[in-house]
């Protein structure tokens, strides 16, 4: 049981820990508005993965295998990245941005649902995650999918969206100019991924 749970958590970190547009949104919200806003953005990512999980269970996720569907999704995602980059720069330049209402949840949700890499993950590792299979490791047999792995997976996401904003808020309180730096860095990450997404859409 514990091994299956750990496998699920490891899969979660393989999806959420690498630098990317989702973490850029969480980082920007965390340093601009505090831990609660960063955590709320993380919940947007959590819900996006929950939606893909349900689709994978139902078999509807296979629709995303269509090149046309993936191209449209990637193109929309690319332009979403550009818009979020614009917002990140605007907020980094504006002292009043910190008092604006957080839209991190909706931003992260849209990023998650239109991210071609996240979709590809759910079409590969995600499908294996929701359909149990037996795997031999270190002389022991354990489930590589199913309820225990799924619990570990979403628990891993929960740990990340709790700890990552907390670390950023802690750093923001100790490093002068950290907020603006994260804002501009987030904008750069979002623009880069926006370009990648649009290129991906045009080459399918």
User: DSSP letters along 179-202, please?
Assistant: HHHHHHHHHHHHHHHHHHHHHHHH
Cα–Cα distance for residue pair 115/80, rounded to 1 Å:
10
Cα–Cα distance for residue pair 55/133, rounded to 1 Å:
19
Q: To the nearest whole percent, how much of the chain has pLDDT over 70? A: 80
For residue 54 the two structure tokens come to 């349900």
> Is residue 34 helix, strand or coil?
coil
User: For 99-129, what is each residue's pLDDT tens digit?
Assistant: 456 688 999 999 999 888 888 888 777 766 7
Instruction: Decide: pTM greater than 0.75.
Output: yes
* 134, pLDDT greater than 70: no
> Is residue 131 helix, strand or coil?
coil
- The model's confidence at residue 10, banded by pLDDT at 50, 70 and 90, is confident
Direct distance between the N- and C-terminal alpha carbons of the chain, in angstroms, rounded to an integer? 41
* 162, pLDDT greater than 60: yes
Count the Cβ atoms, other than its own, within 10 Å of residue 198. Answer: 18
pLDDT for the residue numbered 74? 84
- Please give the residue that has the higher pLDDT: either 132 or 105: 105
pLDDT for the residue numbered 115? 87
Structurally, how many domains does the chain consist of?
1
Domain membership of residue 156 as a residue range:
2-203
141 φ, ψ (degrees, to nearest 5): -100, 130
* 143, pLDDT greater than 60: no
Q: Which of 96, 136, 97 is nearest to 7 (CA)?
A: 136
For residue 81 the two structure tokens come to 């990245």
Structural contact between residues 22 and 45, judged by C-beta atoms closer than 8 angstroms: yes
Strand partners, 134: 143
Dihedral angle sign, alpha carbons of residues 170, 171, 175, 178: negative
Which positions ≥6 away from 192 have C-beta within 8 Å? none
């Amino acid at each position: 049981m514990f091994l299956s749970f750990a496998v699920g958590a490891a899969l979660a970190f393989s999806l959420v820990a690498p630098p990317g547009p989702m973490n850029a949104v969480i980082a920007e919200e965390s340093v601009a508005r505090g831990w609660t806003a960063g955590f709320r953005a993380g919940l947007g990512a959590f819900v996006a993965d929950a939606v893909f999980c349900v689709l994978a269970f139902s078999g509807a996720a296979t629709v995303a295998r269509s090149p046309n569907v993936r191209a449209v999704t990637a193109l929309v995602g690319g332009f979403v990245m550009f818009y979020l980059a614009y917002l990140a720069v605007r907020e980094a330049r504006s002292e009043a941005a910190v008092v604006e209402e957080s839209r991190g949840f909706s931003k992260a949700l849209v990023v998650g649902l239109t991210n071609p890499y996240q979709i590809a993950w759910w079409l590969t590792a995600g499908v294996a995650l929701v359909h149990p299979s037996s795997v031999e490791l270190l002389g022991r047999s354990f489930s590589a999918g199913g309820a225990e792995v799924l619990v570990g997976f979403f628990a891993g996401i929960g740990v990340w969206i709790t700890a990552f904003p907390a670390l950023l808020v802690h750093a923001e309180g100790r490093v002068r100019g950290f907020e603006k730096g994260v804002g501009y860095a987030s904008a750069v990450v979002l623009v880069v991924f926006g370009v990648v997404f649009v290129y991906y859409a045009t080459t399918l």
